[in-house]
Structure 1
């Protein structure tokens, strides 16, 4: 199966970290973004970064920087749409999104998302976990979804644009309407989608590194 393009979602406002770009925080000897790029690069054909504001602050990473095309910080779906628009210009059929603040996501993320999409006309799959003790929003199957980690089809970008312009913000409402699927990852030992939201999370990530 053809490898997708990779989109790193860094468009959030990082309010619990005091603002700024979480991806530029230092983890070990590198930034969070360095860790994310290193994990994603072997799994995709090319990468871009979804972020708003002055793109020059990301010059050192050598990636295209894609701003949201929908104003007002409408959430991660705006970053997905920006990635789909960029991928369409590259002639790609699909993208995979990952979050810029999640440095330990699976090294086989893309392969497992693609496997879960087998038989779909328009591959649309979110990562999900089972075995977590944490209480989060669960899917109808009881799994915990991670909506910033997904496989998305370029063919549905205009439908997504229409949904966003109509005010939709919740990722799973759109993916369920499109008969999206879930790729299940085990989180009984550790959460593979652990993300850095607070200074305490960053300290925990340092220990994991």
Structure 2
């Protein structure tokens, strides 16, 4: 069995990008998806990319000759949001533990991601805090309990919270305090691309809250 998986959630549609595919938009000369994948594969044994069926071909080309050949986890029902995308990706993971991120975080810090695997030992996961909020798509999860937590959060009949807040409430992972996180990485590790203007180097927006309900 694979020791560590990396799950990149890339199936969402960004209305702020219009007709453009955000995951394929170039950041410093590379598609966003490739930038993220190249960072994630430094600390994992396999790469899983969650996406829609129509994205597989373009994404495969964007990741050609990547250090780790990706596997694609296609959403059965597209456009259900990032929790559904994470669930699909985790279900396809071969390892018992996985780092999860979004395709729009091109300045991820592999060292930070690697450290989260150590924090997650014996726990259901390890989620960093930045700018006062947990960052669920820059986190490490124990796959089996995380799948259950995502599925429960998506249950339309559930009485409890939905979205990533509901996932974390059910999962109860280690949540690293912001002081600890800032000692390991700078703010660039949590920047994401929300709009075309963010593609200019150094101008990506901080990710805090962008993947939360």
User: Structure 2 length normalisation: TM-score?
Assistant: 0.77
SS in 2 for 1:43: coil
- Give, in angstroms, the shift of residue 43 of structure 1: 0.5
Q: Is residue 92 of structure 2 the alignment partner of residue 86 of structure 1? A: yes
In structure 2, which of residues 148, 153, 159 is the aligned counterpart of residue 163 of structure 1? 153
Which runs of no fewer than 5 residues in structure 2 stay unpaired?
64-68, 205-213
SS in 1 for 2:137: strand
In structure 1, which of residues 125, 144, 163 is the aligned counterpart of residue 133 of structure 2? 144
* In 2, Cα distance between equivalents of 1:13 and 1:43: 27
Q: Is residue 115 of structure 2 the alignment partner of residue 112 of structure 1? A: yes
- Give, in angstroms, the shift of residue 177 of structure 1: 2.3
Match in the other structure for 1:178: 171
Q: Is the 8 A contact 2:4 2:96 kept in 1?
A: yes
* In 1, Cα distance between equivalents of 2:46 and 2:121: 22
Q: Is the 8 A contact 1:47 1:63 kept in 2?
A: yes
Which runs of no fewer than 5 residues in structure 1 stay unpaired?
133-142
Q: For the structure 1 residues 151 and 189, does the alpha-carbon distance in structure 2 shift closer, same or farther, using more than 3 Å as the test?
A: closer
Q: Is residue 127 of structure 2 the alignment partner of residue 126 of structure 1? A: yes
Q: Is the 8 A contact 1:84 1:153 kept in 2?
A: no
Q: Is the 8 A contact 1:75 1:169 kept in 2?
A: no
Match in the other structure for 2:10: 10
Match in the other structure for 1:99: 102
In structure 2, which of residues 58, 70, 74 is the aligned counterpart of residue 63 of structure 1? 70
* In 2, Cα distance between equivalents of 1:86 and 1:77: 14
Q: Is the 8 A contact 1:116 1:182 kept in 2?
A: no
Superposed CA RMSD in Å reads 2.5
More displaced 10-residue stretch of structure 1: 23-32 or 60-69: 60-69
Q: For the structure 1 residues 189 and 96, does the alpha-carbon distance in structure 2 shift closer, same or farther, using more than 3 Å as the test?
A: closer
* In 2, Cα distance between equivalents of 1:162 and 1:174: 8
| Corresponding pairs, count | 188
* In 1, Cα distance between equivalents of 2:23 and 2:78: 21
Q: For the structure 1 residues 190 and 81, does the alpha-carbon distance in structure 2 shift closer, same or farther, using more than 3 Å as the test?
A: closer
- Give, in angstroms, the shift of residue 204 of structure 1: 4.2
